[in-house]
């Protein structure tokens, strides 16, 4: 593993209008955190949930939260190391591929992907 990556999940309490029937942003955050912990045990990463309507004081975070709203992105939006990698209902396979680009090694290479 090259370094501990930072994952941000941008979302809101209200489900995105185009994502009716999908899990909430907060549920997706919890699910993703659990899935990554199982896939890469003992390999630390930082994961944060950011409410797009209350993003806090960090200017980069505030700017991306505003972009999610301005560009009508489907949330949640998953960002790894500053790069958006998924929006709406994210696919684990794609997120795993990005994690592995950063040197994360799956617990079981034969584990089922989504």
CB 68: neighbour CB atoms within 10 A?
23
Residues in the chain where the model's pLDDT stays below 50: 110-111
CB 75: neighbour CB atoms within 10 A?
25
Kind of pairing between the strands at 6-11 and 77-80? antiparallel
- Give the pLDDT of residue 7: 97
Helix (H) / strand (E) element for 45: namely none
Q: Contact, 41 vs 99, CB < 8 A?
A: no
Global pTM value:
0.87
- CATH superfamily name and code, 6-101: Hypothetical protein sa0798. (3.40.30.30)
- Give the pLDDT of residue 78: 97
The CA-atom distances, in angstroms, between 77 and each of 16, 45, 69 are 11, 17, 11
């Amino acid at each position: 593993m090259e370094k501990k990556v930072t994952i941000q999940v941008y979302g809101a309490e209200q489900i995105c209008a185009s994502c009716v029937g999908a899990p909430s942003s907060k549920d997706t955050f919890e699910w993703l955190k659990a899935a990554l912990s199982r896939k890469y045990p003992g390999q630390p990463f930082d994961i944060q949930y950011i409410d797009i309507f209350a993003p806090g004081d960090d200017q980069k975070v505030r700017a991306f939260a505003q972009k999610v709203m301005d560009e009508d992105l489907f949330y949640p939006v998953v960002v790894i190391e500053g790069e958006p990698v998924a929006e709406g209902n994210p696919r684990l396979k794609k997120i795993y591929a990005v994690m592995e680009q950063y040197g994360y090694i799956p617990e079981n290479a034969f584990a089922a992907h989504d």
